[in-house]
Chain A
Amino acid sequence: MLEVTNLHARLNDGREILRGIDLSVKAGEVHAIMGPNGSGKSTLAAVLAGREGYEVSEGSVSYLGRDLLVMPADERAREGLFLAFQYPIEIPGVNNMYFLRTALNAQRRHRGEPELDAGQFLRIVRARLKLLDIGEDLLQRAVNVGFSGGEKKRNEILQMAMLEPRLAILDETDSGLDIDALKLVARGVNEQRSPERAIVVITHYQRLLDYVEPDRVHVLQRGRIIQSGDKALAVELERRGYGAAEEAA
């Protein structure tokens, strides 16, 4: 589904952040990308999602057989690539439910499916809310405005559950969450696991991986994946720290 080959990317100021990433994610898999602060985790997520401000200087990314890097960000989204933001953005005055329906309908239009009216949408979103144990009041507020940290993350998970992406990238969705919120996020991710869908979980800590079991774990350090393995690698990292991983590499 996703083939990242020798990906180099730098900031507009010239600093190189990604220095040759290789990553292969197949449908049905859950990958965890771990690494210390500043290792390039969020940059990788941003480049894959098409955020401006980065220049890809080398390498390629193929997504569902297409060149991902030439697609504008919104087209990537409509092709099923979803990014759960580390810091979800506030949009004052825009009703959260309206936002979600607008997004879903933009994607449905793209796929040639009929748009959902308010009633149809409400039925679906209510079912998801129940499944994720999220209160309905979240829908009636302006997008992320005045949301607590936990609410923002829950809202990202709700968006993912509604948009049903082919490839979901979660950028430190677990950071700053208490244990209950963490479990809720984990539930959202596990609920999304399916043979057609790939999920990439980017995280600093191992603790989310207590609840979401990854098929592959990668260690990102200074813009490169220096080690890959199964879930045992995550446990080892937690025990020995990222420094040991670097030495081993």
Chain B
Amino acid sequence: MSASSETLQTLRSLARESYKYGFITEIDAEAAPPGLTEDTVRFISAKKEEPAWLLEWRLAAFRAWCGMAQPDWAKLQLTPIDYQAATYYSAPRQSAGPKSIDEVDPELLRTYEKLGIPLREREILAGVAVDAVFDSISVATTFKEQLGELGIIFCSMGEAVREHPELVRKYLGTVVPQNDNFFAALNSAVFSDGSFAYVPPGVRCPMELSTYFRINAAKTGQFERTLLIADAGAYVSYLEGCTAPQRDENQLHAAVVELIAHEDAQVKYSTVQNWYPGDAEGRGGIYNFVTKRGACRGARSKISWTQVETGSAITWKYPSCVLEGDHSVGEFYSVAITNNRQQADTGTKMIHIGSDTRSTIVSKGISAGRGQNTYRGLVRVQPRARGARNHTQCDSLLIGERCGAHTVPYIEVRNPSARVEHEATASRISEEQLFYCRQRGLTTEDAISLIVNGFCREVLKELPMEFAVEAQKLLAVSLEGSVG
């Protein structure tokens, strides 16, 4: 047996056990009847005891959605989604919302412990406050009191609607309007929960804020909505992680994230997305259709997206920055891995509106197996954006012969003083690199992981420390079975 076929066998055996978050939690859940009508929207709004304005807001979104078609411009092949077969609301059944962590169903706490996300504050890594969203409902938010002393609000979206309606009403939908696109409209109609954070003027949030999303119930979509606001001069760093059980059918995830940075404020948003990717033959897996956008409202504000996308059968996601304030800065750092039959169409939009705005895009796509990986990015410089600058670097790494990498940059410049640069490369992990590493004693798996981590270095170094270590491990796991 040649070394490569032997390696392949080892990797295959590893791949079978690679998705370790695929378990299902047996828990009594309360769900809306399947299908999506105005009644579903009313049901969800009523369940959450929402004010009338929010119900109207949802209904407007629903009506917009009814007139829209699922976008088909992305380079993705997917089975048609039956929106009337899905369930749009599923919540673990508990008497009202938990007042404290002690009221949370122990089964749920065990689930999060299995995921490596302990919710009990005493067990939590110092410096990370966690909001955990299970199917449609936020089950616990930690460190709330400590943050409260600084005037920082960090809670579930549901709670924000109840406790801080003026803030929610002021900002909700101002970055991603209800009718922005098909999936955003769907989310706006049926969003169940998500996280909300507000950092008051001049406050530097002393810990990482984090949300952990978990899809558990079968045939259920998850439609969380996250809204983060950094008021003038504030700073916040936010982490998002996701997993889902291993199931044979595809499950829908259509989230919306809105970020707002006022004058001199900074928002750093990091995602490690590890939704169930489907099996090696492409059965099952999450359909991940996400709209993420940040508005740099004030002068000198900065929004930075960092994403490590390793999961999902389909990823459709373009975290973007609208650079309204003069001298505002937008950044997008992305690693997207597609292995087996995974497909990703991901990138960003940088909209330069204010003068002297700057944006940086670093995208690293890794394709293995039969994975298809597309970078799609728009850099638009509006007429008023004097002196706008963009640098885009877009690198693809291919592992094996059956995968694909595609780069689709759109550049629209309407101000002659703008400077826009785009660099793109595509390369393969070479036999030479692998042999060199193995000759120094590394196993093939370790060698691939080392080479891929090197390839992604510019992006990984943008992640907060604890996340970076996780992400490195995840890259290695995601690529198991990729060499043949």
Pick the 10 closest A-B CB pairs, nearest first. Answer: A93-B454, A94-B454, A103-B440, A93-B457, A89-B436, A74-B438, A106-B441, A77-B441, A107-B441, A73-B438
Contact (Cβ within 8 A) A73 B3: yes
The docked-state distance in angstroms from the alpha carbon of A72 to that of B439 is 10
Would you call B451 and A94 a contact (CB within 8 A)?
Answer: yes
Q: Which residues of A contact B7 (CB under 8 A)?
A: 72
- Chain A residue nearest to B445 (CB atoms) is A74
A246 to B430, alpha carbons, bound, how many Å? Answer: 38
A143–B431 CA distance with the chains assembled, in angstroms = 16
Interface residues of A, Cβ cutoff 8 Å to B: 49-53, 72-74, 76-78, 82-83, 85, 88-94, 99, 102-104, 106-107, 110, 142-143, 159, 163
Q: How many A-B residue pairs have CB under 8 A?
A: 85
Q: With the chains together, A51 CA to B4 CA distance in Å?
A: 11
Cα A90 to Cα B438 in complex, Å, equals 14
A88 touches B441 (CB 8 A): no
A85-B436 in contact (CB<8A)? yes
A50 vs B442: C-alpha distance when bound (angstroms): 13
Total interface residues on B, CB under 8 Å, equals 29
Q: How far is the CA of A20 from the CA of B443 in the complex (A)?
A: 31
Known: A77-B441, A91-B451, A163-B440. A52 touches B2 (CB 8 A): yes
In Å, the complex CA distance between A89 and B34 comes to 57
Q: Mark B1-24, 1 if CB is under 8 A from A, else 0.
A: 011101100000000000000000
Excluding A93-B453, A102-B450, 18 further A-B contacts by CB distance (< 8 Å) are A49-B439, A72-B3, A73-B435, A74-B442, A77-B439, A85-B436, A89-B432, A89-B433, A91-B433, A91-B436, A93-B457, A94-B451, A94-B454, A102-B442, A106-B441, A106-B443, A110-B441, A163-B441
Among B438, B446, B454, the residue within 8 A (CB) of A72 is B438
Residues on A with C-beta less than 8 A from B457 are 93-94
Given the complex, which residues of A lie within 8 Å of B443, measured CB to CB? 74, 106
Interface CB pairs A-B, < 8 A, 21 = A51-B439, A52-B431, A52-B435, A53-B431, A72-B6, A73-B3, A73-B438, A73-B439, A74-B442, A77-B438, A77-B439, A85-B436, A89-B435, A92-B454, A93-B457, A93-B458, A103-B437, A103-B442, A106-B446, A110-B441, A142-B454
Do residues B441 and A91 form an inter-chain contact, with CB atoms below 8 A?
A: no
Q: How far is the CA of A12 from the CA of B431 in the complex (A)?
A: 15
Q: A52-B435, A106-B446 are in contact. Are A77 and B440 (CB under 8 A)?
A: yes
Q: Who on chain B is nearest to A50 by CB?
A: B3
* Contact assessment for A51 and B435 in the assembled complex, using a CB-CB cutoff below 8 Å: yes
Q: Judging by beta carbons under 8 Å apart, are B435 and A94 in contact?
A: no
Q: Across the interface, do A52 and B4 meet the contact criterion of CB distance under 8 Å? A: yes
Residues of chain A with a CB closer than 8 A to B456's CB: 93
Which of B7, B432, B440, B457 is packed against the most chain A CB atoms within 10 Å? Answer: B440
Q: In this assembly, does B467 line the interface, its C-beta being within 8 Å of a C-beta of chain A? A: no
CB-contact partner of A159 in B440, B451, B454, under 8 A? B440
Bound CA–CA A110/B436 (angstroms): 18
Contact assessment for A106 and B439 in the assembled complex, using a CB-CB cutoff below 8 Å? no
A97 to chain B, nearest CB (A): 13
Interface string of B445-484 (1 = CB under 8 A from A): 0110011011111100000000000000000000000000
Contact A102 B446, CB 8 Å, known A52-B3, A91-B433, A93-B454: yes
Q: B444 on the interface (CB 8 Å rule)?
A: yes
Q: Give every chain B residue within 8 A of A53 (Cβ-Cβ).
A: 431
Nearest-neighbor residue (CB-CB) of B427 within chain A = A92
A112 to chain B, nearest CB (A): 14
Q: Complex: how many Å from CA A110 to CA B447? A: 16
Query: Whole-angstrom distance between the alpha carbons of A158 and B203 in the complex?
Result: 49
Report chain B residues within 8 Å CB of A163: 440-441
List residues of chain B with CB within 8 A of the CB of A92.
454-455
Closest to B440 in A: A103
A107-B443 Cα distance, complex, nearest whole Å? 11
Q: Is the CB of A83 within 8 A of B439?
A: yes
B441 and A78 within 8 A (CB): yes
Contact A93 B439 (CB under 8 A): no
Minimal beta-carbon separation of A146 from chain B (angstroms): 14
User: Given that A72-B6, A106-B442 are known contacts, is A91 also in contact with B458, CB under 8 Å in the complex?
Assistant: no
A102 to B451, CA, bound (A): 12
Chain A residues positioned under 8 Å from B446 (CB to CB): 102, 106
- Kindly report which residue of chain A lies nearest to residue B447, judged by CB atoms: A74
Query: Which of A51, A73, A78 gathers most chain B CB within 10 Å?
Result: A73
Instruction: Give the CA-CA distance A107 to B442 in the complex, in Å.
Output: 8
Contact of A74 (CB < 8 Å), options: B430, B433, B444, B454: B444
In contact, A74 and B451 (Cβ under 8 angstroms):
no
Contact mask B253-275 → A, CB, 8 Å, 1/0? 00000000000000000000000
Which residues of chain A come closer than 8 Å to B458, judged between CB atoms?
A: 93
Cα–Cα, bound, A91→B436 (Å): 9
Contacts of B450 in A (CB 8 A): 91, 94, 99, 102
CA distance A241 to B440 in the complex (A): 35
Chain A residues lying within 8 Å of B6, measured Cβ to Cβ, are 72
Q: Nearest Cβ distance between residue A46 and chain B, in whole angstroms? A: 9
Q: Which residues of B contact A82 (CB under 8 A)?
A: 439
Residues of chain B contacted by A102 (CB below 8 angstroms): 442, 446, 450
Cα-based distance from A76 to B456 in the complex (angstroms)? 29
Q: Could you tell me the distance between the alpha carbons of A103 and B447 in the complex, rounded to whole angstroms?
A: 10
Q: Which residues of A contact B454 (CB under 8 A)?
A: 91-94, 142-143
Query: What is the CB-to-nearest-CB distance from B361 to chain A, in angstroms, rounded to a whole number?
Result: 18
- In the complex, which residues of chain A have a beta carbon less than 8 angstroms from the beta carbon of B441? 74, 77-78, 103-104, 106-107, 110, 163
Q: In angstroms, how far is the closest chain B Cβ from the Cβ of A183?
A: 25
Q: Closest chain B residue to A72 by CB distance?
A: B3
Residues of chain B with a CB closer than 8 A to A88's CB: 436
Closest to B435 in A: A51
Q: How far is the CA of A50 from the CA of B439 in the complex (A)?
A: 8
**A90–B430 Cα gap in the complex (Å)?**
10
Which chain B residues lie closer than 8 Å to A94 at the CB level?
450-451, 453-454, 457
* Chain B contacts for A76, CB-based, 8 A: 439
| Closest Cβ–Cβ distance, residue A26 to chain B (whole Å) | 23
Shortest distance between the CB of B295 and any CB in chain A (Å)? 32
Interchain nearest-CB distance for B223 vs A (Å): 37
Q: Smallest distance from the beta carbon of A161 to chain B beta carbons, Å?
A: 13
